[in-house]
Structure 1
């Protein structure tokens, strides 16, 4: 195998004969070969790589407020390539003396084809059926005109760097050959138990624009197979869903609003931790993902359950305190639900054995 070494912070120091130098912020600042500098890198206060330089070569990179790559410029300020975005999707490119090109992204937002508008032919392709973790070389001459079209965008938030052999991924650098990051996750275990894994090792169903934590596309599933309550993508936002067909009729009548409040709490958590989970995808605008939204790791899921059950308990207690029950049956349902949450459900949340898909469970 290829020899690798790491420093105490978990940064990759070398891959074979290629060596990596880091600054005080654990960002790659130089690539060396046999001790000779091959490229230098500089970053702004937001952590964005804004300059690559060596000798007389200098490329400045500009980003928009959302962190999307906007363009590369030479030392004289001339545009080399500039990207056009539609929200989070790259849809256009100005290159080769500002000629317009169309970009066709896949379901994740990864560019797969660059089309030269003037000739209406693809000049760059990256096969959707290639290696799952991105270890496939793009075709830079699909039109066969003997002119290679160089385009560095890869997975969402990534740009290939030919000198390092890595994909710059905002806060880290990704190595497609191993399907791992070259540095440990800056947010520690907050992005998952494997601090080097890319998108929780789900490259076809998730992406990581900032190199911190996976943004997962929700799975599909018929409503009858959904649990008692869950959250899902609906018109671009996370929405609560209660599968009333699985609940007793009295539960819907007596505590339905509290059950819904439980799921609304999950929806708020999901939007806070993963704002882009229900964004529209593909190259057709306003076609949104539809399906169940989940949490990417067990600690995050359990923390969300604690908050959701706290919301539900407050709702149930308020019903009893204000004597809103319309019947003895409703009072029994409310008291029974409170007892189930306190005596049965919450202990499983605290000890980590909380299941999915059971009555009264998200």
Structure 2
């Protein structure tokens, strides 16, 4: 098959980037795979680095008022679709979905099989354009979690075929690090100021819906003698001015390491004792949670969307209610009192990843959806 995968994000697209590249890499040996993304995107950079994938710079203007760019983008995409005759076009957001629909309306060439992935828990709109995308440019919808699927049931996509295919991770790439090497990475990250502390970390940054500031508040609520034993490490999006002020007011600056964005998070995960994903909006299933568990780290999650599906409470992680900083503080107390149990919980997390999170199942089930195009 000839497959086009698209994503509209400029710069970093987060889990969308991981999702598209994983599928493209997994199918490139058996199919002709093209990835279309903005020239400034991290996705295009990553796709270009894979020899078997064709990466094409492609713009997806989000605003209809950008009429000149919009019309030009439609023309370019229409010419590409006419020339390449893709069997499948897999879109991953509203702007690329809309542009693909407009580029194929009243087309003289055979229209491809359209697949749309619902990545998040944002409510599905019922406006005219969304109805048109569902009717004219959606043959099948992939939901990455059951909560995402429930949002599609009864929506304008209800009459499209639907599959629930949870995200998979590369458990070979995200694999546990030998203890001595992990200790060296921890020493390099923490330095003397935080030596010996419980390292609680996330790779999701400070985006508002990730709830990272809730974990900052949870650590701040510990008694002084316990707070001194914890260091919070946050990899990814840096805090905004308001968040920085809150960190200062909670006297958390000396208990917090902010690393910023990095392309390869494995050295940081290796330095963690425990991971956390405490989202309370938008999140669906979380690549980050599965990556940390795959590297043998127990993870504290909130009971939001499919996050608790990743974790068996008390076995390979912990589950608390969203925004419940008191419960997060209590779990931190538990971790400190039972540090000797954390490596075994991490091993359970790795076992879970090998059993349930492997990329191969995710790729195989996505390819089966594409196979319906040939049928």
**By the TM > 0.5 criterion, same fold?**
no
Greater percentage in helix: 2
* TM-score normalised to structure 1 length: 0.29
Report 1 or 2 for greater relative contact order, CA contacts < 8 Å, sequence distance ≥ 6.
2
* TM-score normalised to structure 2 length: 0.28
